[in-house]
Structure formats: structure tokens, C-alpha cells
């Protein structure tokens, strides 16, 4: 069985304004995401993390390149691929005029879950994310932290095999953050593949099997947190990242374990 | 398989949004009814005292029924624009197992349904207001239903196209002033196409590029009889041409604007 869940091949993304290219957000990005791993995606603001996440979630198409799932382009079997994905975006893109329960039920049904299974899943998630008291409340009535929890719950309704979490713990209280960590660890134990975009280095170090450093639309390094610390002789991932931020184009960051094109 | 999945999602989204609409329905119905009421009182009861033909109220009633849903739909353009400019809840829909075309189709049909749900009750309300001036028996329902459904579907795709061309929320004011107002005023709402022809054939022929003309003329020919209006069949056929045209344009532009797969 193929241990690679998704192969990202030569993916580029250029944004256009008035028909002219104004930003090359991703530049021929190639790497593999292993089945069941938690892959941390780190980079400064504007590095290309959210662009990459949204392309992997099939929200936006790449300008060039392809994503291979089961040896085939995801675009050849898009709906099947989408059924395997749960996406928690950075911005709270919620249907505010509906209750949490209604939102979750509709999403579950859209992914083809039976009515009974949807109810079961919704109850589990509301309980897991301590959202039961707000089940009938409109999403617009939730505070930022609860809204964030709801976004993660929504991404998990249909039990996806691949979860993309784009800064899922931003704005959460420290103890809630820790609870979210437990959720991600739980997904890991269930062999769910996770792409975790975060600015919290402790979070990335604690949760990620591998860490991917991205800068200016280019993947500079992919390796385990331990290997990175050892290689750069640093005590923690934060120090490695600070070194990376100081000089992201340095050869030392561009020579480690980046997967090359097939 | 792809279509089945897409259609299933389409139905689920439609069901959800209609449930949401149901909650605001009484309020919106009151607003639409109130606007209709004021129009009828002015044009059916006050203006005849100033010399206007007594049958004008009935003439205007069909125009109002055919077009008041558009006001509701244009309001929804603002909501969608605010979402696209803001938190983009639509992006959650775009990653569901559904094609982008089907998402746009669901939005247009949902908007058309809301427009219909609001304007359909204006028929009995109009009868109550105009009572013996208006005979329900003169309506050809076989003609009325297709043109009424098509008119509202047109508003749905037209509003979707408007969403695709507006740069942002600030464009909404311009939309009312430069697009909605002229197509309404010159869309045979207050007069028949034949009346404009009497004034100037050039103006009358030029107005044939306005889809509202076909809606107004088509619905009046179904409700008041063919005499004095453009041929019903032509109105329906041309209206469908506009539905297809604006549907294609809206899909292309929105797909580009949202940068979706």
C-alpha cells in the first residue's frame, strides 16, 4: 500500500490583477504528504502557507502543476477527493444565519452521510468541542474562541482522511489551545493525515511528525523537528525557525530533505 | 456519478437556505405587501381621480407582481458581495463535492424561489385590493405560470451576473441608479411596449434589448389577454435566451472572481 497520501508536484500559483501577474505566491512546490502524518507548515506572513492550504483543499486551482492522489490528478476525481478532506480555514467562513447544529447537519449531509450518522457525528462533535450549550445558537452569536472550535468541528463532521488546519488555534485561550492539541493528537492516533499551518512553534514542535518551512513561495526544508534541531544545533523549533527567518535563502535551509520531482 | 453527487449537494443547500428564508418570510412578505399596497392605492385609486384610466391599476398590478421579487433579489446581491469581500462563507460551499456551476445554479434558483415566494401572494392580495376591477377568470394560467417562473429565474441569474460584475459593496448604489432603475423605468413597467412604439418606433425597438420588456409584456398578455402586448411566445422564448446568456456570463465571471476549481 502506498504510504504517500498526496503528492504535490511542481505546484505554482500566481495571482493576477487586471490581467497582469502581481504576486507569485507559490513557485514550483513539490513534496509528499505521508498517510497518517501530522505535517506542520511554517513560514512568515505572506510565505504562501494559506495559498498552499487552499490549493490542497481544492478551493483554488494551481496556476500550474498537479496534486496526485492514488497516482491520479485530484482534478480527475475531484468529488471523491473532496469527500476525504476536512478544511478549517484561517478566516471564519461560516454561514452566520444558521445555528451550529444546522450548519453541521447540512455539511454532513452534503458529504453523503445518512441522517442517523449525521446526528450521531454532530452530537459527538458538539460534545467534544463543548459546543452543546450553543447548538441552537446562530454562529454569529459565538465568541471568537467558540467560533474557532466550531470551524474545526465542521471540518471533522464527515470523518475525513485528510484534515487541513490553517492556524486553527489563533485567538484561543491557552487551555483551549491545549484541548485542540489533544484533538489533533486524537486524529493522529486514528491515522488521519493532518496539515497544520501555525505560527505557534511550540504547537508545531509538539504535534508535527515533520515540519515544512516555506518562504517566498518555495519549500526550503522538510524534516522532523528532532532532525532540524539536531542539524541546526538548537534546543527547540522556535530557535530553528528564528534562524530560518533571519536568512531563509541560506544554503543550510535549502539542502535538507526537500523531496524532488519524480 | 459526478452529477448525482453535485445534485445531492445542490438539494441540501437549497433545503437549508429555504429553511433559513422561512424564518424571515413573514417580515419580508409584509415589506413586499406594503410596497404593493402603496402602489395599488396610488395607481388604482388616487391617479384615476386625476384623469388616469381606471383600468391602469390592474395593468400596473401585473407589472408589480412580475417585478417586485427583483427588489428582494438585488438585496441578496449585496449580501453575497459582502461575503465575497469579507469572510467568504461561500468558500466552504466551494469545497463541497459539488461543481462550481452547480453552486451558482443553486444560488440563482434559491434567489428565484425567494422572489417567487414573496410575489406569488400578491395575486390574491391584488384581487382583494382591486376587487371588482379585476377578474381572476381573465387570467390564462397556462400562460401565466411559465412566464412567471421564467421571470423569477431570470432575476436569479441576472442578480448572479450583477454580483459578478460589481467590484464591491460600494458598487451597490451605482447598481440601483445605473442598472436597476433604467431597466425598470424603460422596461414597460408603467406603460406597454405599444405605447412606446406610438411615441417613437426607434425608442420602442431600442427597448427590445431590455429583458424586463419581455417579462412585463409576457405577464400582461397572460393576465390581461394578448391584445395590445408583444406576442406571448416570443416574450417567453427571448426571456429564456436572456436566462441562458446571463447564466453563462455569470458562471464564467464568478468562477474567475472566486478563483475556484
Q: For B141-177, write each residue's pLDDT tens digit.
A: 999 999 999 999 999 999 999 999 998 888 888 888 8
Cβ-defined contact of B5 to A79 (cutoff 8 Å): yes
Stated as kind and residue range, the H or E segment containing A17 is strand A4-17
Beta strand A193-197 with A162-166: parallel, antiparallel or unpaired? parallel
Q: Which residue among B2, B12, B87 sits closest to A110, beta carbon to beta carbon?
A: B12
Looking at the complex, report in whole angstroms how far the Cα of residue B10 sits from the nearest Cα belonging to chain A.
8
Q: Is B83 helix (H, G, I), strand (E, B) or coil?
A: helix
Is some CB atom of chain B closer than 8 A to the CB atom of A70?
Answer: no
Mean pLDDT of chain A: 89
Do residue A142 and residue A74 come from a single domain?
Answer: no
Q: Which residue has the cell 471523491?
A: A80
The pLDDT value recorded for residue A251 is 67
The pLDDT value recorded for residue A76 is 93
Cβ-defined contact of A98 to B12 (cutoff 8 Å): no
End residue of a domain, out of A133, A159, A185: A159
Domain of residue A5, residue span: 1-84+161-262
The pLDDT value recorded for residue A255 is 55
Q: Is A255 helix (H, G, I), strand (E, B) or coil?
A: coil
Is some CB atom of chain B closer than 8 A to the CB atom of A145?
Answer: no
Burial of A138 (0-12, 13-18, 19+ CB in 10 A): middle
Cβ-defined contact of B95 to A111 (cutoff 8 Å): no
CATH assignment of the domain containing A72? 3.40.50.300
The pLDDT value recorded for residue A135 is 93
The pLDDT value recorded for residue A156 is 96
Query: Residue B103's closest CA among B118, B85, B90?
Result: B90
Query: Residue A156's closest CA among A198, A200, A111, A196?
Result: A111
Cβ-defined contact of A59 to B89 (cutoff 8 Å): no
- The residues, any chain, with a CB within 8 Å of residue A208's CB and separated by 6 or more, are A38, A39, A40, A196, A225
Mean pLDDT of chain B: 92
Q: How confident is the model at residue A125 (pLDDT cuts 50, 70, 90)?
A: very high
Distance separating alpha carbons of residues B227 and B219, to the nearest angstrom: 12
Cβ-defined contact of A82 to B96 (cutoff 8 Å): yes
CA angle B18, A118, A208 (to 5 degrees): 115
- The answer to which of A31-40, A186-195, A242-251, B243-252 has the lowest mean pLDDT is A242-251
Cβ-defined contact of B95 to A112 (cutoff 8 Å): no
Do residue A178 and residue A251 come from a single domain?
Answer: yes
Do residue A207 and residue A170 come from a single domain?
Answer: yes
Distance separating alpha carbons of residues A239 and A245, to the nearest angstrom: 10
pLDDT tens track, chain B, 261 positions: 677 788 999 999 999 999 999 999 999 999 999 999 999 999 999 999 999 998 899 999 999 999 888 888 988 999 899 889 888 889 999 999 999 999 999 999 999 999 999 999 999 999 999 988 888 888 999 999 999 999 999 999 999 999 999 988 888 888 888 889 999 999 999 999 999 999 999 999 999 999 999 999 999 999 999 999 999 999 999 999 999 999 999 999 999 999 998
Is some CB atom of chain B closer than 8 A to the CB atom of A94?
Answer: yes
Do residue A70 and residue A169 come from a single domain?
Answer: yes
Is some CB atom of chain B closer than 8 A to the CB atom of A127?
Answer: no
What digits encode the pLDDT tens for the residues B63-103? 999 988 888 898 899 989 988 988 888 999 999 999 999 99
Is some CB atom of chain B closer than 8 A to the CB atom of A98?
Answer: yes
What digits encode the pLDDT tens for the residues A47-83? 999 999 999 999 999 999 999 999 999 999 999 999 9
* pLDDT surpassing 80 at residue A261: no
Contacts of B90 in chain A (CB under 8 A): 93
Per the structure block, which three cell numbers stand in for A258?
A: 526537500
Cβ-defined contact of A82 to B2 (cutoff 8 Å): no
Stated as kind and residue range, the H or E segment containing A193 is strand A193-197
Distance separating alpha carbons of residues A31 and B150, to the nearest angstrom: 50
CA distances B179 to A73, A93, A199, B174, B196, Å, are: 43, 30, 46, 7, 20
Distance separating alpha carbons of residues B16 and B22, to the nearest angstrom: 10
The pLDDT value recorded for residue B100 is 94
Report helix, strand and coil shares of chain B as percent, to nearest 5.
Answer: 85, 0, 15
Q: Is A112 helix (H, G, I), strand (E, B) or coil?
A: coil
Distance separating alpha carbons of residues B57 and B182, to the nearest angstrom: 22
End residue of a domain, out of A132, A159, A186: A159
The number of domains in chain A is: 2
Q: Is B189 helix (H, G, I), strand (E, B) or coil?
A: coil
The DSSP annotation for A153-185 comes to HHHHTT--SEEEEESTTTT--HHHHHHHHHHHH
Do residue A103 and residue A35 come from a single domain?
Answer: no
Distance separating alpha carbons of residues A35 and A83, to the nearest angstrom: 16
Distance separating alpha carbons of residues A260 and B7, to the nearest angstrom: 40
**For B93, nearest residue in chain A (alpha carbons):** A107
Instruction: Write down the domain spans for chain B.
Output: 2-258
Query: Residue A227's closest CA among A203, A202, A251, A253?
Result: A253
Do residue A58 and residue A77 come from a single domain?
Answer: yes
Helix and strand tally (H, E) in chain A? 9, 10
Cβ-defined contact of A110 to B8 (cutoff 8 Å): yes
* pLDDT surpassing 90 at residue A252: no
End residue of a domain, out of A136, A159, A182: A159
**For A91, nearest residue in chain B (alpha carbons):** B87
Judged by phi (left if over 0) then psi (alpha if -120 to 50, else beta), residue A223 lies in: beta
Contacts of B80 in chain A (CB under 8 A): none
Helices (H), A8-161: 49-56, 78-83, 100-110, 115-128, 144-156
The pLDDT value recorded for residue A20 is 87
Amino acid at each position: 500500500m502506498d504510504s504517500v497520501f498526496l503528492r504535490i508536484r511542481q505546484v505554482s500559483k500566481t495571482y493576477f490583477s487586471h490581467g497582469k501577474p502581481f504576486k507569485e505566491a507559490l513557485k514550483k512546490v513539490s513534496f509528499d504528504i505521508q498517510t497518517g502524518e501530522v505535517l506542520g507548515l511554517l513560514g512568515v506572513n505572506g510565505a504562501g502557507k494559506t495559498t498552499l492550504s487552499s490549493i490542497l483543499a481544492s478551493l483554488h486551482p494551481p496556476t500550474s502543476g498537479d496534486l496526485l492522489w492514488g497516482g491520479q490528478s485530484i482534478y480527475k476525481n475531484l468529488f471523491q477527493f473532496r469527500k476525504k478532506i476536512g478544511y478549517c480555514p484561517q478566516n471564519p467562513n461560516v454561514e452566520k444565519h444558521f445555528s451550529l447544529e444546522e450548519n453541521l447537519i447540512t455539511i454532513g449531509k452534503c458529504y453523503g452521510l445518512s441522517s442517523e450518522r449525521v446526528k450521531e457525528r454532530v452530537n459527538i462533535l458538539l460534545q467534544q468541542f463543548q459546543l452543546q450549550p450553543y447548538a441552537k445558537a446562530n454562529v454569529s452569536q459565538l465568541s471568537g474562541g467558540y467560533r474557532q472550535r466550531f470551524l474545526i468541528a465542521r471540518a471533522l463532521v464527515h470523518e475525513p482522511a485528510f484534515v487541513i488546519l490553517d492556524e486553527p488555534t489563533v485567538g484561543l485561550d491557552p487551555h483551549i489551545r491545549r484541548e485542540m492539541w489533544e484533538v489533533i493528537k486524537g486524529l493522529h492516533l486514528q491515522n488521519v493525515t493532518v496539515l497544520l499551518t501555525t505560527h505557534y512553534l511550540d504547537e508545531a514542535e509538539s504535534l508535527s511528525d515533520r515540519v515544512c518551512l516555506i518562504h517566498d513561495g518555495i519549500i526550503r526544508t522538510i524534516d522532523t523537528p528532532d532532525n532540524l534541531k539536531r542539524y541546526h544545533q538548537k534546543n527547540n523549533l522556535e530557535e530553528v525557525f528564528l534562524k530560518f527567518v533571519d536568512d531563509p535563502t541560506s544554503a543550510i535551509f535549502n539542502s535538507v530533505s526537500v523531496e524532488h520531482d519524480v | 456519478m459526478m452529477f448525482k453527487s453535485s445534485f445531492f449537494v445542490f438539494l441540501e443547500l437549497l433545503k437549508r437556505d429555504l429553511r433559513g428564508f422561512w424564518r424571515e418570510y413573514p417580515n419580508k412578505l409584509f415589506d413586499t405587501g406594503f410596497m404593493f399596497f402603496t402602489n395599488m392605492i396610488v395607481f388604482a385609486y388616487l391617479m384615476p381621480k386625476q384623469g388616469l384610466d381606471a383600468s391602469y391599476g390592474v395593468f400596473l398590478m401585473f407589472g408589480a407582481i412580475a417585478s417586485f421579487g427583483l427588489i428582494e433579489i438585488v438585496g441578496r446581491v449585496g449580501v453575497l458581495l459582502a461575503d465575497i469581500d469579507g469572510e467568504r462563507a461561500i468558500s466552504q460551499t466551494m469545497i463541497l463535492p459539488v461543481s462550481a456551476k452547480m453552486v451558482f445554479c443553486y444560488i440563482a434558483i434559491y434567489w428565484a424561489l425567494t422572489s417567487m415566494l414573496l410575489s406569488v401572494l400578491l395575486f390574491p392580495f391584488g384581487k382583494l385590493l382591486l376587487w371588482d376591477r379585476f377578474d381572476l377568470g381573465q387570467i390564462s394560467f397556462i400562460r401565466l405560470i411559465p412566464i412567471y417562473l421564467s421571470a423569477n429565474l431570470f432575476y436569479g441569474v441576472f442578480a448572479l451576473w450583477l454580483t459578478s460584475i460589481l467590484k464591491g459593496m460600494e458598487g451597490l448604489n451605482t447598481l440601483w441608479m445605473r442598472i436597476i432603475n433604467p431597466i425598470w423605468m424603460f422596461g414597460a413597467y408603467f406603460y406597454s411596449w405599444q405605447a412606446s412604439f406610438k411615441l417613437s418606433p426607434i425608442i420602442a425597438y431600442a427597448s427590445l434589448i431590455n429583458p424586463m420588456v419581455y417579462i412585463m409584456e409576457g405577464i400582461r398578455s397572460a393576465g390581461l389577454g394578448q391584445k395590445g402586448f408583444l406576442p406571448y411566445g416570443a416574450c417567453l422564448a427571448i426571456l429564456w435566451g436572456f436566462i441562458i446568456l446571463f447564466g453563462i456570463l455569470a458562471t464564467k465571471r464568478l468562477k474567475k472572481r472566486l478563483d475556484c476549481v
